Amino acid sequence: MGVLNVTPDSFFDGGRYFDLEPALARGLEMVAEGADVIDVGGESSRPGAQPVPEAEELRRVVPVIEALTRHVRVSVDTTKRAVAEAALSVGATLVNDISASLWPVAASGAVGWVAVHMSGTPRTMQDDPRYDDVVGEVHGFLVERARQALDAGVREVWVDPGIGFGKTARHNLTLLHHLPALVASGFPVLVGTSRKGFLGVLAAGPGEEPVPAAQRLPGSIATATWAMLAGAAMVRVHDVTAVSRSATLVGSTRSASDLTPAAARTSPVGAGRPGLGAR
C-alpha cells in the first residue's frame, strides 16, 4: 500500500502532493514501483495534528481518488463518514479508518474496511501513552471491532495495530514482536511503520536527538520486512520501490532456503535470473 497524503502538513510527504497534478503523478509512480493499493489521505494524523474541516478534506481527496481508481485499487484514509462515502462514490474500494468506527459505511458500500488501533486522538495521543498489557489491549480491541464489522456484513475486514498512534517506541516494538499473534486471529493484518517517529528514536545514539524522517528509510525497510515475515498481508509505505525490493529479496531467500545446490540450478528462484548463478 503506497501512501499518498494530499495535505500540507503530513509528517513526511506533507506539501509535496497537495495539488492534483503532483498527487496523480506520485500515485501512478507508486503503481509503477509495485504498489497494489494507493492510500489517499486529506488529513494528517501525525501527533499534534489539528482536525481538517470536512469540506476541505473532500476538496483535497475526491479528485485524486477519482482519477487514480482508473489505474489501481484506492483506499481512503479518513475518519469522516461523509469523506468515506464520497470516496466510495468515485471508486475507492477500501476504507482505511484510524477511528475504527466507519464499518457501517463499508458495509453499505460493499467495500473493504481497515480497523486501526489508536489510543486517544492525534492531537494528544503521544502525551503519555500507557497500557497495562499493550498486546492484549490492542489485539482485543481490533478483534472485537473486526467481528462487529463482519456481523454488520463487511466482507473484507483488515486489522492494523496502529504503530505510533498513542504508543511509545517500546509499545511499537512490542506490537511488532507479537505480530504473529494478531495474524493468528485470522483477519488480514496491515502494518504502517513508514518513516515514523519511533524509528528516529531507535536510530539515534545515546543522548542524541531522534533522527529526522528524511533519514528513517533503513528503519522503514527493516520494520516493513519484519512485518511481512511475521505474516502481515500488507504494509503501508512511502518508499514503495525500496520496500518491494526488500520483500522480493527476502522472499527469494526464503524460498531458496530448502533447495539443494542441484535443485537451485533448475529452480525458478535460481534459473533465468541474471547474476543469481554467479557466486
Active site residue 273: no
Task: Give yes or no for residue 77 binding ligand HH2 (CB under 6 A).
Answer: yes
Task: Give yes or no for residue 146 binding ligand HH2 (CB under 6 A).
Answer: no
What minimum distance in Å lies between the beta carbon of 179 and ligand HH2?
13
Closer residue to ligand HH2, CB minimum distance, 1 or 62: 1
Task: Give yes or no for residue 190 binding ligand HH2 (CB under 6 A).
Answer: yes
Task: Give yes or no for residue 96 binding ligand HH2 (CB under 6 A).
Answer: yes
Task: Give yes or no for residue 105 binding ligand HH2 (CB under 6 A).
Answer: no
What minimum distance in Å lies between the beta carbon of 164 and ligand HH2?
7
Closer residue to ligand HH2, CB minimum distance, 172 or 269: 172
Active site residue 81: no
In the range 25-64, which residues lie near ligand HH2 by CB under 6 A? Answer: 41, 44-46
Ranked by CB distance to ligand HH2, the top (closest) residue is 192
Q: Binding residue for ligand HH2 (CB under 6 A) from 114, 154, 199, 240? A: 114
Tell me if 240 sits within 8 A of 35, measured CB to CB.
Answer: yes
Task: Give yes or no for residue 17 binding ligand HH2 (CB under 6 A).
Answer: no
Identify the residue whose cell numbers are 501527533. Answer: 47
Closer residue to ligand HH2, CB minimum distance, 44 or 269: 44
Rounded distance between C-alpha atoms, residue 109 and residue 178, angstroms: 33
Which residue, among 31, 32, 41, has the nearest Cα to 11 in the 3D structure?
41
Q: Which stretch binds ligand HH2 (CB under 6 A): 10-18, 87-95, 225-233, 250-258?
A: 10-18
Task: Give yes or no for residue 160 binding ligand HH2 (CB under 6 A).
Answer: yes
Task: Give yes or no for residue 11 binding ligand HH2 (CB under 6 A).
Answer: yes
Catalytic residues: 196, 236
Residues forming contacts to ligand HH2 in the complex (CB under 6 A) are 3, 5, 7, 10-12, 41, 44-46, 77, 96, 98, 114, 116, 160, 162-163, 190, 192, 236
